[in-house]
Amino acid sequence: MARVRILLLGGTTEARELAPRLTALGFDVVSSLAGRVAEPVLPAGDVRIGGFGGSAGLAAYLRDEKVDAVVDATHPFAEHISANAYAAARDVGAHHLLLRRPGFILHPEFEVVPDVHHAAAAIEPGAHVFLTIGRQHVAAFAHVDARFLIRAIDPPTVLPHHHVLLLDRGPFALEDEVELMQRHGIDTLVTKDSGGSATAAKLDAAAQLGMRVIVIARPPVPEGADMIGEVEAAVDWAARLL
């Protein structure tokens, strides 16, 4: 009897936790990474790196590789990948699950904006900003009149004129975040509501220091998608396929 094949769209902590759990259940698992990080932390098992060419290309891959189910455990802000995954799975009749970790616990005084452009417009002139949004959308802040401490895994291609670039990967401890913000004279934190424990400490540090916090809200998920928030629940969902 052929093993059930799962395409696990990953790059997140949850995807790396899920891959060996699914393999242990007896699934044939291929983890797919978009390739946007130069040196990604690889999950256990078979790994595919690179895009598919939109929903049509992904659908063709699912057919060609006889994939039975797609588990989308990508970053909460990978909205295009998630939309393509849902559409492709629906087109070929494959099972589909969206694994999205819960968002951050936000203090009432935090300011929530819909996207990076609103976040850039909200920054006060002359502010000292800790920008932790990944590298892809830093260009939206290139012409903002402020000083930036930018933390990312890989260097952005476009940077603001006044900046310090810090290449680092979480998890980050609360005391280290407090020290970092104080050392750089930060008064404003701009971040995404990406959730997860690895980077949550920056929000607690900013609240502790009484600074302004601007949080970019998550994009919507595909309408109709079956979504859960925990790895254990994803394992249970997959087990029912057997």
Tens digit of each residue's pLDDT (9 = 90 or more) over 201-229: 999 999 999 999 999 999 999 999 999 99
Kindly report which listed range (35-39, 213-217, 231-235) carries the lowest average pLDDT score: 35-39
Higher local confidence (pLDDT), 51 or 132: 132
Beta carbons within 10 angstroms of residue 195's beta carbon: 20
Please, what is the average pLDDT of the chain? 93
pLDDT score, position 181 = 98
At residue 35 the predicted structure's pLDDT band, cuts being 50, 70 and 90, is low
Q: Which is the CATH superfamily of the domain at 5-102+220-241?
A: NAD(P)-binding Rossmann-like Domain (3.40.50.720)
**Could you read off the pLDDT of 110-131 as tens digits, one per residue?**
999 999 999 999 999 999 999 9
Q: Tell me the HSE value of 139 on the side-chain side, using a 13 A CA sphere.
A: 5
Is the fold of 5-102+220-241 the same as that of 111-216? yes
- Distance spanning both ends of the chain, measured CA to CA: 12
The mean pLDDT of 47-72, rounded to a whole number, is 94
DSSP characters for 165-193? EEE--S---HHHHHHHHHHTT--EEEEE-
**Could you read off the pLDDT of 72-108 as tens digits, one per residue?**
999 999 999 999 999 999 999 999 999 999 999 999 9
Q: Topology of 111-216 in CATH?
A: Rossmann fold (3.40.50)
Going by C-alpha positions, the residue among 64, 75, 6 that lies closest to residue 216 is 75
Global pTM reads 0.88
Burial 122-146 (b: 16+ CB within 10 A, else e): ebeeebbbbbbbbbebbebbeebeb
Q: What is the token pair recorded at 53?
A: 């060419």
pLDDT score, position 17 = 94
Domain boundaries, the chain: 5-102+220-241, 111-216
The bridge status of strand 95-99 relative to strand 69-72 is parallel
Q: How far is CA 200 from CA 44, 57, 233, in A?
A: 26, 35, 22
Q: Which amino acid would we find at residue 138?
A: V
At residue 180 the predicted structure's pLDDT band, cuts being 50, 70 and 90, is very high
